[in-house]
């Protein structure tokens, strides 16, 4: 999902660290590392060219939409 150019952009890395990584940490607590990998693979397959220009925003929106679904599934299974 991240290009080598993205990895050198401190604004992107800062945005990921501040706004995205904590949400993926939450997913990891709920679904484990496998769940995080599955989600990232899914959104990578669905990613459009326009979203590659702002990867931090794309990842943030994706996980913000996915976490409530995961939480509902957990409630339904209790």
Indicate the pLDDT class of residue 78, thresholds 50, 70 and 90: low
pLDDT of the residue at 22: 97
pLDDT for residue 40 is more than 80: yes
Map the chain to HEC letters: CCCCCHHHCHHHHHHHHHHHHHHHHHHHHHHHHHHHHHHHHHHHHHCCHHHHHHHHHHHHHHHHHHHHHHHHHHHHCC
How does pLDDT run across 11-22, given as a tens digit for each residue?
Answer: 999 999 999 999
Indicate the pLDDT class of residue 54, thresholds 50, 70 and 90: confident
pLDDT of the residue at 1: 85
Global pTM? 0.84
pLDDT of the residue at 74: 80
């Amino acid at each position: 999902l991240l290009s080598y150019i993205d990895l050198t952009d401190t604004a992107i890395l800062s945005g990921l660290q501040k706004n995205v990584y904590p949400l993926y940490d939450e997913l990891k607590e709920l679904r484990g590392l496998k769940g995080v990998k599955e989600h990232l693979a899914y959104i990578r397959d669905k990613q459009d060219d326009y979203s590659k220009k702002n990867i931090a925003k794309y990842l943030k929106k994706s996980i913000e939409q996915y976490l409530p679904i995961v939480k509902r599934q957990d409630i339904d299974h209790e």
